[in-house]
Each structure stands twice: as structure tokens, then as C-alpha cells.
Amino acid sequence: MNQDKNQFCRRLNQMLAVSGVEPGELACRLGVSVSTVNRWRNGSSAPDLYQFQALTRFFGMPCEWFLDSGNHFPSAEELAVRLGLRGDTVRDLMDLAACAEKPVLDALDDAVYALVSAVSAAGDAE
């Protein structure tokens, strides 16, 4: 469960960065406090089933994506559209993720997080 919680925290923070949604906005949409969302983000608590389902609907991502680093990702084309990348770039990253060890996957997650944050910031500047 701890690994699932870590994966959930990472993915929640990624989706907040990608979407530009502030924790307060997410909290309001889900009917929870900002401190509750922040506890989810830092891993000190987790949403209940209903909150989790509402969160996945809000971001439009499958439940499995928030919990599993395995083969439950959206297709390369879906991710490419969501991230503003080319499909072949996403496919290459997914191929790397499929055969890489955990430190490489962590570095890859960090790189994608940084890229998505940069793309989001550039969009905000326009």
C-alpha cells in the first residue's frame, strides 16, 4: 500500500502541475478542505473511495493511472495530446519505462513532471 500511496502522491502532484489546477480549486470541486488535498499530496493521508472516484473523474484519468506504474497508462496518443508532445516521443518514453529500473523510472517521472510544468508555465505566460 505504501508504494501505491507514493505513486498516488506523485501522480496527483503531476496532474495538478499539468492542469494548472490549484489545490484550493480541487478541494472546492471535491468538497474537502485544502489541508486535506495537501495531506494527499504529501502522502500523510489518502482519499476515501468516493473522493478518489471524484478526483479521477475531475482529471479525466483512469483510476489505475494514479495507483499503478505498470501497464495501465493511457495510450501514447492520449498522453501525447495531454502533454502537448509528439506521439513518437511519448512511445519512446513508454518503451524506456517498460524496461528501466526504478531509479531510471523515478528520474523519468521527474523529467516528465519538469517538462509538463514548463509547458504549463509557458501556456500561462501567453
CATH class of 2-125: mainly alpha
| Domain residue extents for the chain | 2-125
> pLDDT by residue (tens digit) across 7-19?
888 889 888 877 7
Give 116-124 contacts, CB < 8 A, sequence gap 24+.
116/14, 116/17, 116/18, 116/83, 117/17, 117/18, 119/83, 119/84, 120/17, 120/18, 120/19, 120/20, 123/20, 124/20
Grid coordinates representing 75 are 495510450
pLDDT < 70: residue spans in the chain: 1-5, 69-76, 79, 82-83, 94, 96-102, 104-106, 108-110, 112-114, 116-126
